[in-house]
A and B are shown apart, each in its own frame.
Chain A
């Protein structure tokens, strides 16, 4: 945050005439990967998505070879749906908010590399299948048990502090950045920070905490919370600034108090 009253983003002072996109491609899941490079004219407000759209329209590589258009996922383009996540210049992020100007400024070159996320099954090119993240939400019962959706008046009184703390967790858009960056996540060994934070979101709620045990149960399996290695990449990689490590450690406390030492209360 700026304190001097004014911030202006750094811009490329001497932009190149063209930008190259080196894209890791794959025809379908299981096929071998190959790279293709495309070149488009530089424009100041270009982001990775608009570059991909331009490439898709006339897919010709930098060597003049006509090829198939690269496939990727996109929807909201405002970094709230999470679908357009990919690995850009080696780091996972949303392609809609990846401005070409910033990327070139950071790398100092004229080429941007695009790869699919590596922790999820690749569908084709830059598109991956993240359905496991939604399965994990089932595993931790990431919802509140209602008596029914009919009119029963307002919910419980909640302090604004708690509401805002929960809001921070609730902004998770299931994009998978945390899982891609996590050195522990992969091959089903670890449920990952995303689902743990969602379990925490509901454990914090006055009504949600009634079924806290079910959620903790979902986190004490073989792929549970103890697989966290505390590399803390998740919280750094999260585009929504979800306090992931805090959620993990608070859940650790719940497990210590309720599960491991719960018998002391008997």
Chain B
């Protein structure tokens, strides 16, 4: 086939794929792991240790997460910078969604950078100095200490909601950009499903975050059998 793909064409397609496949999958795994905090420190730290035990971890981290993330976020910022947003003149719902996708994108660019320095490397001055990587046994505590500062917890909740929305709407965008969903009816159904997914992912993410400062997160503690056994006295001060 004599089709010619331009650079922009390939970069855009790659941007769409990286958002959904490595980063989308990673976010699901990430939220699943975080949710183990519901069942207390030991459970969470066991999960972190399990991640540490994954073979080829460094390679997976670099090529499965960092590189796609770097590409997706940098190219995403470039895409956003080319936009001539006009929601004030043309305030249609889908135009707002377009705007929000770019707004969350820019926010997440900053937030994820912060998040990685904060927890993966422990390099934010005046905040946690210990990287979670290599210190699975302290993971829960590191996070708990940070989340006791209200603005940090709020920031992380904002981060998780923004990611949930960006990803869920990203699924919709992927579906139309790859011609999987076409007509208006199908678009509406897909969009509804994506909104549902965003709400679900947000709830899970928020709950996991809260779980570091309140056993079992936002749910009644009866739902989390393990909490009584494993929560340390330090957490009870909360």
- Chain A contact residues: helix, strand, loop or mixed: helix
- Say yes or no: is B173 at the interface (Cβ < 8 Å to chain A): yes
Within 8 A of A (CB), among B180-198: 180-184, 187
Are B1 and A233 neighbours in the complex by a CB distance under 8 Å? no
Are B95 and A231 neighbours in the complex by a CB distance under 8 Å? yes
Report the separation of the CA atoms of residues A229 and B76 in the bound assembly, to the nearest whole angstrom.
12
Report the separation of the CA atoms of residues A258 and B2 in the bound assembly, to the nearest whole angstrom.
11
* Known A91-B89, A183-B83, A251-B179; 5 more pairs at CB < 8 Å: A184-B83, A189-B82, A213-B1, A257-B179, A258-B1
Are B6 and A249 neighbours in the complex by a CB distance under 8 Å? no
B30 / chain A contacts, CB cutoff of 8 Å: none
- Say yes or no: is A109 at the interface (Cβ < 8 Å to chain B): no
Are B182 and A246 neighbours in the complex by a CB distance under 8 Å? yes
- Say yes or no: is A175 at the interface (Cβ < 8 Å to chain B): no
- Say yes or no: is B228 at the interface (Cβ < 8 Å to chain A): no
Are A233 and B95 neighbours in the complex by a CB distance under 8 Å? yes
Chain B residue nearest to A262 (CB atoms) is B1
Number of interface residues of B (CB under 8 A): 36
Partner among A91, A217, A226 whose Cβ is within 8 Å of the Cβ of B90: A91
Are B3 and A222 neighbours in the complex by a CB distance under 8 Å? no
Are A220 and B179 neighbours in the complex by a CB distance under 8 Å? no
Interface membership of chain A positions 214-243, coded 1 if the CB is closer than 8 angstroms to chain B and 0 otherwise: 001100111110111111110011000000
Interface membership of chain A positions 255-266, coded 1 if the CB is closer than 8 angstroms to chain B and 0 otherwise: 111111011000
- Say yes or no: is B224 at the interface (Cβ < 8 Å to chain A): no
Report the separation of the CA atoms of residues A254 and B180 in the bound assembly, to the nearest whole angstrom.
10
Known contacts being A252-B178, A256-B178, is A220 close to B4, with CB within 8 Å? yes
Chain B residue nearest to A119 (CB atoms) is B84
- Say yes or no: is B71 at the interface (Cβ < 8 Å to chain A): no
Known contacts being A91-B89, A189-B82, is A230 close to B5, with CB within 8 Å? no
Known contacts being A181-B90, A184-B83, A230-B173, is A258 close to B179, with CB within 8 Å? no
Are B94 and A232 neighbours in the complex by a CB distance under 8 Å? yes
Are B3 and A253 neighbours in the complex by a CB distance under 8 Å? no
- Say yes or no: is B177 at the interface (Cβ < 8 Å to chain A): yes
Interface membership of chain B positions 92-123, coded 1 if the CB is closer than 8 angstroms to chain A and 0 otherwise: 10110111000000000000000000000000
Q: How far is the CB of B57 from chain A (nearest CB, A)?
A: 32
Q: How far is the CB of A112 from chain B (nearest CB, A)?
A: 15
Are B6 and A236 neighbours in the complex by a CB distance under 8 Å? no
Are B5 and A220 neighbours in the complex by a CB distance under 8 Å? yes
- Indicate the size class of the contact surface on chain A: 35 or more
Chain B residue nearest to A226 (CB atoms) is B12
Are B184 and A246 neighbours in the complex by a CB distance under 8 Å? yes
A186 / chain B contacts, CB cutoff of 8 Å: 84
- Say yes or no: is B150 at the interface (Cβ < 8 Å to chain A): no
Are B176 and A220 neighbours in the complex by a CB distance under 8 Å? no
- Say yes or no: is B13 at the interface (Cβ < 8 Å to chain A): yes
Report the separation of the CA atoms of residues A246 and B98 in the bound assembly, to the nearest whole angstrom.
17
Known contacts being A224-B8, A228-B177, is A260 close to B13, with CB within 8 Å? yes
Report the separation of the CA atoms of residues A262 and B9 in the bound assembly, to the nearest whole angstrom.
16
- Say yes or no: is A90 at the interface (Cβ < 8 Å to chain B): yes
Chain B residue nearest to A259 (CB atoms) is B3
Partner among B3, B7, B177 whose Cβ is within 8 Å of the Cβ of A252: B177
Known contacts being A224-B9, A257-B179, is A230 close to B98, with CB within 8 Å? yes
Known contacts being A183-B84, A183-B95, A233-B95, is A224 close to B179, with CB within 8 Å? no
Known contacts being A184-B82, A186-B84, is A220 close to B9, with CB within 8 Å? yes
Partner among B2, B95, B178 whose Cβ is within 8 Å of the Cβ of A232: B95
Q: How far is the CB of A220 from chain B (nearest CB, A)?
A: 5
Interface membership of chain B positions 1-41, coded 1 if the CB is closer than 8 angstroms to chain A and 0 otherwise: 11111111100110000000000000000000000000000
- Say yes or no: is B67 at the interface (Cβ < 8 Å to chain A): no
Q: How far is the CB of B170 from chain A (nearest CB, A)?
A: 11
- Say yes or no: is A110 at the interface (Cβ < 8 Å to chain B): no
The 8 A-B pairs of least Cβ separation, nearest first, read A253-B179, A226-B12, A231-B98, A252-B179, A232-B94, A222-B8, A249-B182, A259-B3
Interface membership of chain A positions 83-117, coded 1 if the CB is closer than 8 angstroms to chain B and 0 otherwise: 00000001100000000000000000000000000
Are B9 and A258 neighbours in the complex by a CB distance under 8 Å? no
A227 / chain B contacts, CB cutoff of 8 Å: 8, 12, 82
Are A253 and B180 neighbours in the complex by a CB distance under 8 Å? yes
